[in-house]
Amino acid sequence: MTTSNTPSPQPTRRILIAGGGYNTTFLAYMAQLTGKVRPRICYLPTAVGDHPDAIVGFYRACEPLDVAPFVQKMFIESLSQTRGFDEVLLSMDAIVASGGNTLNQQAIWKAQGVDVVLREAWERGIVLGGASAGSLCWFEEGTTDSRPKALSIVQGLGFLPGSHSPHYDAEPGRRPLYHQLIGSGRMKAGYACDNDAGILFEGTDVARVVATRAGATAYHVSATDGQVSERALDAVLL
């Protein structure tokens, strides 16, 4: 009997983000990326404090799709949550993070050890994604409205290098602040997404730019000697 010493191929690490509006169309694309029949998609509504309206919205968005939706709350107790976060999340085919308060989301995930589990999920090829806080969370840093008074900087999980700005066309303060931070060197170069536009990353590289609305797109923003360059990326309509 001959045994092969050829190592097993590594799973493709995928993250599908959007600037805002992670709707049924984005969820359908996420499901397709898993390559599974009736994939299990887990929703993490941490950034909205496990708000019931967000949870209902996720289930409604999944209704037209041939998927098995699941919600993992963070505000739990051990009598009703009998499986560990690792057992739940690593049994999924895809995980989508909600929008909301990124700063609070990160604090809770790190306190519960979910940040470590999500990295393992990514390494295993479980598709990750989300919009707004659900897109910011995967980068090293980005612009957020998670604090009072003004947009500010938030640190993410760092799976994707560089920075991110969601809601690029929907909130007037996003573009000028992103340009200012990158131009001054306070923030790394990165990617901005309009609402209804998104980016599929394979590993840490851009594999595809997509949109669910004509005219929506994503951008790469960088700076050289303080001069900001913004490059629009061609988006394919889903």
Name the token pair of 149: 């008074």
Is residue 167 annotated as a catalytic residue, yes or no? yes
Domain 14-237 of CATH type 3.40.50.720: no
Q: What percent of the chain has pLDDT over 70?
A: 97
Among residues 98, 146, 163, 167, which one is catalytic?
Answer: 167
> What's the whole-model pTM score?
0.94
Residue extents of the structural domains in the chain: 14-237
Rounded to an integer, the average pLDDT of 196-216 is 98
Is residue 222 annotated as a catalytic residue, yes or no? no
- Residue 235: partners with Cβ closer than 8 Å, 6 or more residues away: 197, 209, 210, 211, 216, 217, 218
Among residues 132, 135, 146, 163, which one is catalytic?
Answer: 132
pLDDT tens profile 134-190: 999 999 999 988 898 888 889 999 999 999 999 999 989 899 999 999 999 999 999
pLDDT tens profile 15-31: 999 999 999 999 999 99
pLDDT tens profile 90-123: 999 999 999 999 999 999 999 999 999 999 999 9
